[in-house]
A = this chain, B = another copy of it.
Amino acid sequence: MSVTVITRLTGMARWEPGTRERLQAAAMDLYLSRGFEGTTAADIAQAVGLTERTFFRHFADKREVLFGGQELLVQAFLDGVAAAGPHASPLEMIESALSAAATFFTAERRDHSRRRQVVISANPALQERELLKSAALAASLASALRSRGVPGSTATLAAESAVTVFGVTFSTWIAADEQRSFPAIQREVLRELVALADGAR
């Protein structure tokens, strides 16, 4: 018996612990098959045998299915900055921030991230939102670095560089043939950035 059928029979779906995850999985399937614009919150809820009202108990709107959880990622970056040693250089602070953020991107999450990216790449408004989220992350990170005593423009450079390393890592990690883990790729990308600044040919 499928989860959907059980859900319908018991009528307990809204209280099940996995409701949010099931809504998210169903949303992703629909966004991929019908497109983001062509999918409504009601469609998503119906796909898992729930009401639109239940959907809105879990997500503010259908966009939040894609972008929810961003605060947790930003917080991981900030916690990483805070966790760096008392005499850490700005580079060590962003290394610590990047390592903390990398823990989000587990092997189990890779397929979800790939599917999510297909949805976002197909929609300019979602791409813009992704860009705004990146800019907001860089601004929060720069401010965390400044509060640890990193001077103004170095803090901005370091934060922007961290977001760039993170972005390049993410794109590499979700590539079809990529096998390495997120942290392994990220360490390599950070090394590339350091080599670039060294003027390596």
Contacts and interface: CB of A to CB of B under 8 A. Distances in A.
Interface in A128-156: 128, 131-132, 135, 153-154, 156
A91 B192 contact: no
Interface of A: 87-92, 128, 131-132, 135, 153-154, 156-158, 160-161, 164-165, 167-168, 171-172, 189, 192-194, 196-201
A5 B35 CA distance: 56
Contacts of A167: 160
A109 to B, nearest CB: 21
A168 B201 CA distance: 25
A196 B87 contact: no
Given A157-B168, A157-B192, A189-B153, A197 B199 contact: no
B89 A161 contact: no
A128 B135 CA distance: 10
A128 B125 CA distance: 11
Given A132-B128, A153-B172, A153-B189, A201 B160 contact: no
Given A128-B132, A131-B135, A132-B131, A91 B199 contact: yes
Given A154-B196, A157-B193, A197-B198, 5 more contacts: A90-B201, A91-B199, A131-B132, A160-B164, A160-B167
A11 B117 CA distance: 56
Nearest to A198: B197
B135 A196 contact: no
Contacts of A131: 131-132, 135
A198 B167 CA distance: 21
A130 to B, nearest CB: 10
A160 B163 CA distance: 10
Contact of A165 (B157, B172, B193): B157
Contacts of A156: 164, 168, 171
A158 B168 CA distance: 11
